[in-house]
A = this chain, B = another copy of it.
């Protein structure tokens, strides 16, 4: 079959790889219907060293079960299923606490000999715990929105949920990428009435407004901070959802959070330290968030997607075929596309 392999920064190829087969009794093999490219895929696309060797890539996909190992209950060939962006047994203590990203028997797609999602099919380890059956057909119009449940929408939700967003909290979202926009949608869904989106790409912030942003700040750095404080009577907002992962973004987050407030971050940190010095200490600022345990939120978010109450699939603004995945990476890296769906 064909699948995507990353060789080095800027060097993504779709090539022939071995067909996946059941290797362990807890495996399933899934034929991929839709996958996509994640903002976090752009980190290796921007910096991977060729000396690390080629690696399968892609961690968001949904598809059709083709085969299951003998210890996989509740799934059969033909089921349409969603895979969260980590695989997990969903039975260990961490999983039961809703932290499947720390599963004692789980791991990440595309590492340690595990397939990536940007391919024709995937061997899914811990299939019973990992896969979620979707009550839709292979050609459902909802597939793009359902696919976002694999990562980007639960990641936005994780950011809002760990920040404690509710109808009484004001919210700042930093970043107008697909995660930032998903965080806007999640904050709105959790009842926030004031959502200030910091981003400077008008097409994206326009979608942010449709998702629920009440204000948009295009300025960055000190100017952006000043503007936000102006909008909030000098106080900042109760919660700040940091959806970028770069040092200036986390610095802005600390500058615009209200005393007693929460900065939640879901952008994979491209920095090593955060200035949690006596300033945030005297203001009782909490720093939370992290990699999102998507699986923990799917049961809650799925009904809203099925009913069309939310339409997180609108973050996809380009669709490519598997062979065109390298062009999809290029378009996302150059900000020509917000998020690329692979069909």
Residues of A at the B interface (CB closer than 8 Å) are 94, 97, 99, 101-102, 162, 259-260, 265, 268-269, 271-278, 280-291, 293
A96: min CB distance to chain B, Å = 11
Which residue of the partner chain B has the closest CB to A265? B281
Q: Is B260 in contact with A281, judged by CB distance below 8 angstroms?
A: no
**Residues of B with C-beta under 8 A to A265:** 281
Q: Is B101 in contact with A282, judged by CB distance below 8 angstroms?
A: yes
**Residues of B with C-beta under 8 A to A273:** 273-277
Report the Cα distance A279→B275, complex, angstroms.
Answer: 16
Nearest 8 A/B pairs, CB to CB: A284-B290, A273-B273, A102-B259, A286-B288, A99-B260, A274-B276, A272-B277, A287-B287
Which residue of the partner chain B has the closest CB to A108? B282
A155: min CB distance to chain B, Å = 12
**Residues of B with C-beta under 8 A to A272:** 275, 277
Report the Cα distance A287→B286, complex, angstroms.
Answer: 6
A342: min CB distance to chain B, Å = 25
Report the Cα distance A274→B265, complex, angstroms.
Answer: 15
Query: Which of B268, B277, B278, B293 is A278 in contact with, Cβ under 8 Å?
Result: B268
**Residues of B with C-beta under 8 A to A275:** 272-273
Q: Is A260 in contact with B291, judged by CB distance below 8 angstroms?
A: no
A120: min CB distance to chain B, Å = 29
Q: Is B281 in contact with A291, judged by CB distance below 8 angstroms?
A: yes
**Residues of B with C-beta under 8 A to A284:** 99, 101-102, 162, 289-291, 293
Q: Is A268 in contact with B281, judged by CB distance below 8 angstroms?
A: yes
Q: Is A269 in contact with B260, judged by CB distance below 8 angstroms?
A: no
Q: Is A282 in contact with B278, judged by CB distance below 8 angstroms?
A: no
Q: Is A260 in contact with B94, judged by CB distance below 8 angstroms?
A: yes
Report the Cα distance A285→B289, complex, angstroms.
Answer: 7
Known: A272-B277, A276-B273. Contact between A94 and B259, CB under 8 A? yes
**Residues of B with C-beta under 8 A to A276:** 269, 273-274, 276, 287
Known: A259-B94, A259-B99. Contact between A282 and B277, CB under 8 A? no
Which residue of the partner chain B has the closest CB to A250? B276
**Residues of B with C-beta under 8 A to A285:** 290
**Residues of B with C-beta under 8 A to A269:** 276-278, 281
Report the Cα distance A70→B260, complex, angstroms.
Answer: 32
Q: Is B288 in contact with A288, judged by CB distance below 8 angstroms?
A: yes
Report the Cα distance A29→B278, complex, angstroms.
Answer: 31
**Residues of B with C-beta under 8 A to A278:** 268-269
Report the Cα distance A274→B277, complex, angstroms.
Answer: 8
**Residues of B with C-beta under 8 A to A293:** 284
A278: min CB distance to chain B, Å = 5
Which residue of the partner chain B has the closest CB to A93? B235
A182: min CB distance to chain B, Å = 18
**Residues of B with C-beta under 8 A to A280:** 290
Report the Cα distance A277→B276, complex, angstroms.
Answer: 12
A90: min CB distance to chain B, Å = 15
